[in-house]
Amino acid sequence: MRATEIALHDVELPLRHAFETSSHRKSSLRHLLVEMTSEDGWVGWGEIASPVDPFYAPETTTTAWQTAVQHLIPTVLGAEWEHPDEIAGLYARVRGNYFAKAGVEMAAWTLWTTTHSVPLAHALGGERDSVIAGVSLGIEPDIDVLLTQVGRHVESGYPRVKLKIAPGWDVEPVRAVRETFPNLDVHVDANGAYPGSSESGGEEAFEVLRALDPFRLTMVEQPFAPKNFSDHARLTAAMDTPVCLDESVETLDDLRTALALNAGNVLNIKVSRMGGLSAARDAHAVSSAAGWPVWCGGMHEFGVGRLANVALSSLSGFTLPSDVSASGKYYAQDIIDPPVTAEQGVVQVPTAPGLGHRVRNDVITAHATRQQRFHA
């Protein structure tokens, strides 16, 4: 297989509800779409879901565009490959830049599965027909607004709600949600906002996190900074609530470090953070073999990345609800047809070849602020 044209589309979609985490607030999202065309005219799509700012990971939309244009697209264009597992090897010299790599590799996966007439989920080894979706709720202005948001999603049937927490917005909102929804599957995600042992406030942060134990949370996700494996290990030993890693695990080596140190007991696998579907699939195999349950995290993906997340979530080790909520939770108009929908928190895994839904070039072009084509 050979890609002879790759186009990059910088696309901005308005969000239905502004989203706030421990580090930023957003009312629209800009992602880069990768359109890869083979020499015989087949097309595969990928999504570079980097946030615009380097607050979740070091990449930005601007650096991802630059890396794709200068280093990834030139090595992939015109190269001969048999299977998408070979794509990462083409640009093995490029360090980091996982979001940019994930978008380019995803385009190769969807191109390959489309030409081979197999659903992406099957090509990845997925076994489930449907996956369980959870929602991720941002930091809200006050507890009443948060309770309303949680209630709205529980009513739509989502079986799990993840709450973003940060120092000063933790024990009280969690207590309020637990009291109002005694049996709901709730987990919290700090996006690394708590200081570790080597920083001031580290000991106090440790006590606050331990104070979450009585609320029967499904997990506490990424309390400390990405490279701080040692405090994640310390907290894992000190809490009954499972500790989940997100930002800490960008590579299989990071995962082996986490496993060796017992720096958690659950893994959030994000295609973007791990540089692609092949690495995400392999992380699933390593985690499952080590006894860590996994789930698929999201980056508010547009339809292309969202369908890749649904396909990945169909693998057997994804036993916890994934962040694969319906397109409509975030976007009034998605770039795929039909959009991803959830029925009582269940999303069907597409059975058509490739991504399984049509990609809407017209919507992409209508919302694109920059488009560029490269040829072999």
Smallest separation (angstroms) from Mg ion to the CB of 27: 20
> Does 191 interact with ligand OSB (rule: CB under 6 A)?
yes
Smallest separation (angstroms) from ligand OSB to the CB of 155: 18
User: By CB under 6 A, what part of segment 307-346 binds ligand OSB?
Assistant: 323, 325
Is the separation of the CB atoms in 235 and 217 below 8 Å? no
User: How many Å is the Cα radius of gyration of the chain?
Assistant: 20
- Could you say which DSSP state residue 318 is in? B
DSSP sequence for 58-101: S--HHHHHHHIIIIIHHHHBT-B-SSGGGHHHHTTTS-S-HHHH
| Residue found under tokens 């609320």 | 215
**Peptide bond before 195: cis, by omega within 30 degrees of 0?**
no
> Does 298 interact with ligand OSB (rule: CB under 6 A)?
yes
Q: Between 297 and 356, name the residue whose CB sits nearer to Mg ion.
A: 297
Q: Between 297 and 356, name the residue whose CB sits nearer to ligand OSB.
A: 297
Query: Which listed residue (101, 162, 270, 329) is catalytic?
Result: 270
Give me the torsion for CA of 82, 111, 123, 351, rounded to 10°: -150
User: By CB under 6 A, what part of segment 232-251 binds ligand OSB?
Assistant: 246
Smallest separation (angstroms) from Mg ion to the CB of 174: 16
Q: Between 232 and 300, name the residue whose CB sits nearer to ligand OSB.
A: 300
What does 326 interact with, of ligand OSB, Mg ion, none (CB < 5 to 8 A by kind)? none
Q: Interacting stretch for ligand OSB, rule CB under 6 A, among 80-88, 166-174, 203-211, 297-305?
A: 297-305
Query: In angstroms, rounded to a whole number, what is the distance separating the alpha carbons of residues 45 and 196?
Result: 40
Q: Between 31 and 300, name the residue whose CB sits nearer to ligand OSB.
A: 300
> Does 113 interact with ligand OSB (rule: CB under 6 A)?
no
Smallest separation (angstroms) from ligand OSB to the CB of 73: 25
Which of 312, 364, 296 shows the shortest CA–CA distance to 124? 312
Question: Which residue in the set 234, 284, 300, 367 belongs to the binding site for ligand OSB (CB under 6 A)?
Answer: 300
How far does CA 354 lie from the centroid of its chain? 19
User: By CB under 5 A, what part of segment 174-233 binds Mg ion?
Assistant: 189
Query: In angstroms, rounded to a whole number, what is the distance separating the alpha carbons of residues 9 and 365?
Result: 8
Q: Is 270 annotated in the active site? A: yes
| Residue found under tokens 């649904």 | 310
Is the separation of the CB atoms in 107 and 48 below 8 Å? no
> Does 189 interact with ligand OSB (rule: CB under 6 A)?
yes
Exposure string (b/e) for 317-335, b if CB count within 10 Å is 16 or more? bbebbbbbbbbebbbeebb
Query: Which listed residue (26, 101, 162, 164) is catalytic?
Result: 164
Q: Between 73 and 299, name the residue whose CB sits nearer to ligand OSB.
A: 299
> Which chain residues interact with ligand OSB by CB under 6 A?
21, 56, 136, 189, 191, 246, 297-300, 323, 325
Residues that bind Mg ion (CB under 5 A): 189, 246
Residues recognised as catalytic:
164, 270
